[in-house]
Amino acid sequence: MTPSINPVLITALELGSYLMNKDIPVNLWGQGVAKTLDHLLQEIRSGECELVETDGELIRLIHVVSADIYYGDSFGMFILKEEKQVFKGGRTKVRSLNTSLSEKITPKEPPMEGITRGIKEELDITISPNQIKEISKFEESRESNSFPGLSTIYKGTRFSCKLDRSQYKPEGYIEVQNDKAVYFKWERA
């Protein structure tokens, strides 16, 4: 698999034309839970994804890390879950992740560094190496909810992380990004 486009030279208009020529329904993007063409262009330019052609099919290839984040005390064991994303303008996206959080990384970023960075960015928590362990590697292929009509291959590493008392916020966490806020809450494990 080799990249189909040069991420440095492409514009949003060129990307849109390229995708439409591949029968990708970009007219559905930016509605409901779908992201916009500009979101995809930003992913490509940042190195978070590549568009590759395999057997004539256009594929979005991303590398991800994910973590199940736990906290336990005398009241029981809890797991952190993403509750929702609220976009500027009021649109809400509820995701049913099978993990506490997931983060895109570049192909050159070591997975342990990526998950440590992701936990810091999303929860504002600094994790020490003894709190986190690698569980498994995975590869999954499916159509992206974020970009309808565009198949995506997710290559990743899954981790488990246990927070200590100083890192635990019983009310949950909120990550504020430029275009949205992401809400995390605790559930009984």
pLDDT along the chain (189 residues), means of 10: 62 92 93 89 91 89 96 95 90 85 92 96 95 96 91 96 97 94 95
User: Which domain does 24 fall in, by range?
Assistant: 12-188
Which pLDDT score is estimated for 1? 58
Q: How many domains does the chain have?
A: 1
- Residue 1 domain flag: no
Which pLDDT score is estimated for 3? 58
Which pLDDT score is estimated for 130? 94
- Residue 2 domain flag: no
Which pLDDT score is estimated for 90? 85
DSSP per residue, the chain? --BSS-TTT--HHHHHHHHHHTT--GGGTTSTT---HHHHHHHHHHTSEEEEEETTEEEEEEEEEEEEEEEEETTEEEEEEEEEEEETTS-EE----SSSEEEEE-TTS-HHHHHHHHHHHHH--PPPGGGEEEEEEEEEEEE-SSSTT-EEEEEEEEEEEE--GGG--TT-EEEE-SSEEEEEEEEE-
- Residue 5 domain flag: no
- Residue 181 domain flag: yes
- Residue 4 domain flag: no
- Residue 151 domain flag: yes
Which pLDDT score is estimated for 87? 87
Which pLDDT score is estimated for 158? 97
**CATH number of domain containing 73:** 3.90.79
